[in-house]
Structure 1
Amino acid sequence: MTEIQEFPMPRAAACPFDPPPALRDLAEEGPLTRVRLWDGSTPWLVTRYAEQRALLADPRVSSDVRLPGYPLQAPRLAESVGISFILMDDPEHHRLRRMVQAPFTVRRVEAMRPAVQRIVDDLIDGLLAGPKPVDLVEAFALPVPSLVICELLGVPYADHGFFQDNSKTVIRRDASPEERTAAGKRLFAYLDDLVGRKLAEPADDLLSQLTARVRDGELTRQEAAQMGVLLLIAGHETTANMIALGTLALLENPAQLALLRAGGDDPELVAGAVEELLRYLNITHSGRRRVALADIEVDGQVIRAGEGMIMANDVGNRDPRVFPGNPDELDLRRDDARRHVAFGFGVHQCLGQPLARMELQVVYGTLYRRIPTLRLATALGQVPFKHDGQVYGVYELPVTW
């Protein structure tokens, strides 16, 4: 019997953009295997694209983190912090999600594009006028999505240091349960205070729209604050990591960077580049976690009711059955990249994906065109990657031009 491997698995130091070698070996053996988590539990790991999509869309598969058998990434935060709606099932998941989905429609997001373009251009102006080398994470990758989500939610950007620091602690895999709970409580208290202020003085922002539902009795104040925490963390951490990691991947693939730089004013090429970078990098590298509500047969094996499962989307996005040719190669002209599962699949797929796509299109279509000689200011081996994070990326990215 094959020994059960620990999950998550380490990446190869020389290949920081690729899934872990052991994970790829498992995907070649078959779509389903057992792995061992930090708490000794042994959920199923789903390694292939077709099986991942099928299970993510299966009503017999639950996202409810409170159910026995759910494969936790780390000790659960204290109940006082609350449970996010993305960790619930319908109908409660749908009830809460529909209250915040309007600002994330493609039409509403496209209306924001000029404002996001101004944010990106202003930050690039600042880079060009300032000293170099510079940390692109601190000076650009984090401010872009933070400014956007603050504007959308109605959160003061002046508080960005507070919510960025606490967000990092909440999603750090090696943070202690006490550290994560304390950071989660601080974020919740902060959003709860903001909700209270919006109740007294509503404005034209998403938090004020939620407080209207609190006043109407559709939502509790705690639910509104918890939704605010989710949107604030997800709205800046994931996109910031994609900006920095995508830039690094392009700098390490100069032919692809030259292609994007030359076609930066072609919306179709830029949109395709965003999809390919999302497929190639997949920053959600801890997998999507679920638990079976009933027995489910997959490739001749049975996932029993109450057993956990992890969809390893990073290796799913490199599945040669779906992405022919060389799926381990970054190819901005790939015509099937949008089939990726970087945003998940099914009813729980990422609510903010239209906003993330638009922000990345503006960034990738502007940064390298305006700073054509952008380059790393250190060796790749000196770049600190977020191997310890639930969201993959880099802590710093020293660049110059």
Structure 2
Amino acid sequence: MTAHAGNIPPTALSEEPPEFPMPRASGCPFDPPPPLRERQREGALTRVRLWDGSTPWLVTRYAEQRALMADARLSADITRPGYPSGAPVPPRGNSIGFILMDDPEHARLRRMVTAPFAVKRVNAMAPRIQRIVDELIDAMLAGPRPVDLVEAFALPVPSMVICELLGVPYADHAFFQENSKTIINREVTQEQRSAALGRLTDYLDGLLGEKLRAPQDDLLSGLAERVGGGELTRREAAQMGVLLLIAGHETTANMIALGTLALLRHPEQLAALRDTDDEKLVSGAVEELLRYLHITHSGRRRAVLEDIEIAGETLRAGEGVILANDIGNRDPSAFPGDPDTLDIRRDARHHVAFGYGAHQCLGQPLARLELRIVYGTLYRRVPTLRLAAELEELPFKHDGSVYGVYELPVSW
């Protein structure tokens, strides 16, 4: 019987809090770090130690994570006392848009970009996304083998899609991909991260200037219109553009590559997905891969604004909280059977890969559509797709806030 947080043995409570983030086990690239599983068995909440010596709460169980993500007494603002930042907070605080803000300002800015990500609007993009996917597969099949699936396919698909949606020239993809990579790398200095963020913000600011002079049918032109109407400053609009550009290609690109690798390592699951005509099974595979892999693996971070009683513990105002959604998505109480097994027939729609509550991922309809088209097309068109390197040779992104592989050599 699993112990609850209030019944953790005294020896566990007296231990020195482990460092966070925790390393994954060698040879188990798809699984959360084993210490997270151990902490989850002990209880819903525990303490961890960060780079700066602070000891925020770590939440490991699904039910408590959902409850806290919906609780307005937690703040996403990195300037709040106790916020468990993964790196030094820049002097100016948040400079990457509404994702690190609280309501009502978070809601006000988010509403300005909600419409393009509505399900009906996103679904209308399906034919164009299908063409992008097919054209990239055509080019890959016509080229040399082996090929890096990240460079040839996984990264271009979402990059092209978000560029069209935002109104960003895809010809500049090398520039924004390189700077995005620096921004989400945990191991770079604050100066390097700030410089990359500054370059991207200046780039989006320049594009906004062009949209102000000659608006088009894209999201940046919509933001430019709001700038012209006095609803936004130009810098705020540029920061929102940076957020959408990074989130729009980094996460989906990693899901495409890592999801493909996971399926190649589970050939019976790959065969079931490759051979099906059932759109529901493809959609289910997307949800299960999102649950199983959960690529945002550094935890969602919050500061406590008011005392919260939960799972037999009291989260005090001014303390930090890290919601480890990767292990939450492996919680046996939420995902019966063996949650550590990849099963594309599992009902995984209630996963927390996109978060929950007010800060739930804005772009999830687009990400789901892209993944459905990719997973439903790539393996059918390249039925003999295989890994062209040993698993232990692959460069995994242990250094980033978004998990994946830097390269994925494949052949057929």
Judge same fold: TM > 0.5, yes or no: yes
SS of 1:289's partner is strand
State the match for 1:362 in structure 2.
373
| Superposed displacement of residue 83, structure 1 | 4.1
Distance in 2 (alpha carbons) for counterparts of 1:81 and 1:346? 20
Aligned to 2:363: 352
**Match in the other structure for 1:324:** 336
In the alignment, the residues of structure 2 paired with residue 332 and residue 281 of structure 1 have an alpha-carbon distance, to the nearest angstrom, of: 12
Q: Distance in 2 between matches of 1:136 and 1:218?
A: 42
- The verdict on how the C-alpha distance between 1:32 and 1:103 changes in structure 2, with shifts beyond 3 A counting, is same
1:244 paired to 2:244: no
Question: Matched residues in 2 for 1:268 and 1:153: separation?
Answer: 29
Instruction: Tell me the alpha carbon deviations over residues 233-259 of structure 1, each in whole angstroms, 9 at most, x when there is no partner.
Output: 000000000000000000000000000
Letter in 2 for 1:163: F
The residue identity in structure 1 corresponding to 2:375 is: Y
Q: Which residue of 2 aligns with 1:289?
A: 301
Aligned partner of 1:341 among 340, 346, 352? 352
Amino acid at match of 1:390: S
Give, as a single letter, the amino acid of the residue that structure 2 aligns with 1:373.
Answer: T
Q: Which string of whole-angstrom CA distances, capped at 9 and with x for unpartnered residues, describes residues 175-195 of structure 1?
A: 111111110110011011111
Partner Cα distance (2:94, 2:43) in 1: 39
CA displacement at 1:77 relative to structure 2 = 3.9
Separation in 2, partners of 1:301, 1:104:
38
Q: Is the 8 A contact 1:81 1:181 kept in 2?
A: no
> Could you tell me which amino acid in structure 1 is paired with residue 372 of structure 2?
Q
1:166–1:184 CA contact under 8 A, matched in 2: yes
Is 1:77–1:180's contact at 8 Å kept on the other side of the alignment?
no
Q: Does 1:399 align with 2:406?
A: no
Give the one of 312, 316, 321 matched to 1:309. Answer: 321
Alignment of 1:226-265 (within 5 A): 226-263=239-276, 265=277
* TM, length-normalised to structure 2: 0.96
Aligned residue number for residue 165 of structure 1: 178
Deviations 1:284-341 (A, max 9, x none): 1000001111001121111100111000000000000010100000000002x01100
Quick one: structure 1 residues 146 and 77, their matched pair in 2 at CA, closer, same or farther if it must change by over 3 Å?
farther
Output the amino acid matched with 2:355.
G
* 1:79 positional shift: 2.4
Equivalent positions of 1:63-142 (< 5 A) are 63-77=76-90, 79=92, 82-142=95-155
Spell out, residue by residue over 1:113-150, the C-alpha distance to the aligned partner (whole angstroms, 9 max, x if none).
00000000000000100000000000000000000000
Distance (Å, rounded) in 2 between the aligned partners of 1:64 and 1:270: 37
Distance 2:146 2:184 in 1: 28
| Counterpart residue type for residue 234 of structure 1 | A
Residue 81 of structure 1 deviates from its aligned partner by: 7.5
Q: In the alignment, is the contact (CA less than 8 A) between 2:94 and 2:100 conserved in 1?
A: no
Q: What residue ranges of structure 2 are gaps of 5+ in the alignment? A: 1-13
User: 2:10: which partner in 1?
Assistant: none
Aligned position for 2:391: 380
- Contact 1:77/1:184, CA 8 A, preserved across alignment: no
User: Among 195, 215, 219, which residue is 2:228 paired with?
Assistant: 215
Q: Which amino acid aligns with 1:326?
A: D
Whole-angstrom distance in 2 between the partners of 1:80 and 1:252: 42
**How many percent identity over aligned positions?**
73
The answer to whether the 8 A contact 2:96-2:243 is kept is no
Instruction: Determine the structure 2 residue equivalent to 1:268.
Output: 280
Separation in 2, partners of 1:210, 1:94: 15
Cα 1:183–1:77 change in 2 (3 A) is farther
Paired letter, 2:197 = G
Q: Which amino acid aligns with 1:118?
A: R
Spell out the pairing of 1:17-96 with structure 2 (5 A cutoff).
17-77=30-90, 79=92, 82-96=95-109
The residue matched to 2:124 in structure 1 has which SS? helix
After superposition, residues 150-229 of structure 1 pair within 5 angstroms as: 150-229=163-242
